[in-house]
Structure 1
């Protein structure tokens, strides 16, 4: 079984490989093991590339939830998370 650190690293690597140069400020936002202990749910947050850092107010963030198989570390799914 993979641990929490491995799940976070797998998710970040997977997302980065699919989206090279298409985001800024990737960060781990949430991570949890499902109740059945079958999957890790990893939420990553990032700034889309069109963000103007000189705009006053909060910087928009986008979020993805990656489901990682807890046994073998394979990415099962990646979905948009709306906040």
Structure 2
């Protein structure tokens, strides 16, 4: 599997797992290949509604304002199709 295939697979997997959470704008942030584990480590960023952020009611009614949270996930895509991919939260500034 080449890097483009791994990234495409990671984006599809992330979208499927989070399909009920209204994520959008999935973007590639980082790619690394782990030679030892034979896995692709792919960091993806995306937007999702922020239910914790208080929003003024007047702003909430406008289509120009939609509270979002930038999230980052590390998706591990194994070379072996029999192995299950994994997703972990990626905090910026941490390896």
Q: TM-score, normalised by structure 2?
A: 0.68
CA distance in 2 between counterparts of 1:61 and 1:6 reads 24
Q: Residue 56 of structure 2 aligns with which residue?
A: none
Question: Whose helix fraction is larger, Structure 1's or Structure 2's?
Answer: 2
Q: Is the 1:7–1:68 contact (alpha carbons within 8 Å) kept by the matching residues of 2?
A: yes
Maintained 8 Å contact 1:11/1:75: no
Alignment correspondent of 2:31: 31
Distance (whole Å) between structure 1 residues aligned to residue 9 and residue 83 of structure 2: 8
**RMSD of aligned residue pairs (Cα, Å):** 2.6
CA distance in 2 between counterparts of 1:54 and 1:17 reads: 26
TM-score for the superposition, normalised by structure 1:
0.76
Structure 1, unpaired ranges of 5+: none
Structure 2 unaligned blocks of 5 or more = 54-59
Number of positions where the alignment pairs a residue of Structure 1 with one of Structure 2: 79
Q: Higher relative contact order at CA 8 Å, sep ≥6: structure 1 or structure 2?
A: 1
